[in-house]
């Protein structure tokens, strides 16, 4: 556990684990984060992540969503409160040792490496030979529909394909927890919808736990089975609620009355968190 002292109906989308009987993956309790310039990014934020969930961390730009995600990943310290990773191996610094993967807003691929080489990177950092990692790399690429492009270079790929490579790189280590920081925000709507479907398919087929940062009501209502809405700076949880559906989430769901109602509920929660501002 990392602790900082003060001043320092049946549904198609459900968690794949029995969360009531499982240990949490992450427990944030009254976490505050103050940057060196005095900016209070998070204040008294409490959130628990259970195995098998698909959580959407929703809020306006600048509300601390990305900061919270980095803290969950063990990539940033806290100023007050505590954070614990009960289901992970913990290293000598009190941080999770592996089993967490991060997909950033940009693909951050190495231009001099092939698709295969980019996905191999986390395995290489673990000391695993290219030959020994080959089967897992190709399996990860197959899961995102890019096995036939394993010899291609990033310059030969579209924006959506580059992001698929980034997702494959995150999945190749077979993590317990996948953290995604607005990964599709810069993509066109058609590509974004396709990647939303791909991520849902991966979540349902692998049982991985996902925390997905977005400021889109429509994306969060489509993807998540639990939504955590944050208030604007200083960031903290305003509402935390499940969002299930009786329909399969696909192209037909996007035009359904149930999806419209889900978007309406999420939008109302976000509007309340923003002090009544309208949000499309």
Structure tokens at 223: 């993807």
pLDDT exceeds cutoff 60 at 75: yes
Among 117, 160, 112, smallest CA distance to 137 is for 117
pLDDT > 90 fraction of the chain, expressed in percent and rounded: 64
Mean pLDDT, rounded, for 3-16: 49
Mean pLDDT, rounded, for 190-211: 91
Q: What is the pLDDT of residue 97?
A: 80
Q: Which H helix or E strand runs over 130?
A: helix 130-143
Higher pLDDT, 149 or 61: 149
Q: Could you tell me if 182 and 214 are in contact, meaning their C-beta atoms sit under 8 angstroms apart?
A: yes
Band of pLDDT at residue 280, cut at 50, 70 and 90: very low
Q: What is the pLDDT of residue 276?
A: 59
User: What are the tens digits of pLDDT across the range 227-268?
Assistant: 999 998 788 999 999 988 888 888 889 999 999 999 999 999
Averaged confidence pLDDT in the chain: 88
pLDDT exceeds cutoff 90 at 103: yes
Q: What is the pLDDT of residue 220?
A: 95
Q: What is the pTM of this model?
A: 0.88
pLDDT exceeds cutoff 90 at 116: yes
pLDDT > 70 fraction of the chain, expressed in percent and rounded: 91
Band of pLDDT at residue 3, cut at 50, 70 and 90: low
Band of pLDDT at residue 2, cut at 50, 70 and 90: low
């Amino acid at each position: 556990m990392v602790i900082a002292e003060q001043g320092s109906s049946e549904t198609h989308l459900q968690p794949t684990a029995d969360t009531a009987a499982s240990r949490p993956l992450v427990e944030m309790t009254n976490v505050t984060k103050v940057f060196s310039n005095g900016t209070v990014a998070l204040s008294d934020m409490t959130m628990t992540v259970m195995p098998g969930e698909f959580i959407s961390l929703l809020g306006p730009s600048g509300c601390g969503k990305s900061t919270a995600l980095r803290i969950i990943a063990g990539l940033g310290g806290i100023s007050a409160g505590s954070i614990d990773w009960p289901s992970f191996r913990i290293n000598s610094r009190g941080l999770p040792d592996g089993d967490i993967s991060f997909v950033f807003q940009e693909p951050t691929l190495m231009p001099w490496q092939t698709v295969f080489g980019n996905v191999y990177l986390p395995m290489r950092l673990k000391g695993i030979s290219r030959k020994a990692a080959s089967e897992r790399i190709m399996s990860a690429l197959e899961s995102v529909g890019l096995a036939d492009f394993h010899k291609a270079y990033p310059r030969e790929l579209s924006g959506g394909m580059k992001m698929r490579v980034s997702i494959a790189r995150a999945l190749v280590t077979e993590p317990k927890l996948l953290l995604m920081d607005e990964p599709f925000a810069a993509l066109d709507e058609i590509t974004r919808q396709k990647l939303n479907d791909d991520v849902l398919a991966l979540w349902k087929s692998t049982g991985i736990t996902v925390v997905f940062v977005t400021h889109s009501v429509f994306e969060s209502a489509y993807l998540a089975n639990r939504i955590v809405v944050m208030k604007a700076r200083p960031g903290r949880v305003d509402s935390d609620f499940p969002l299930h559906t009786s329909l399969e989430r696909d192209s037909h769901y996007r035009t359904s009355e149930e999806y419209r109602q889900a978007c309406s509920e999420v939008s109302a929660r976000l509007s309340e968190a923003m002090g009544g501002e309208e949000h499309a």
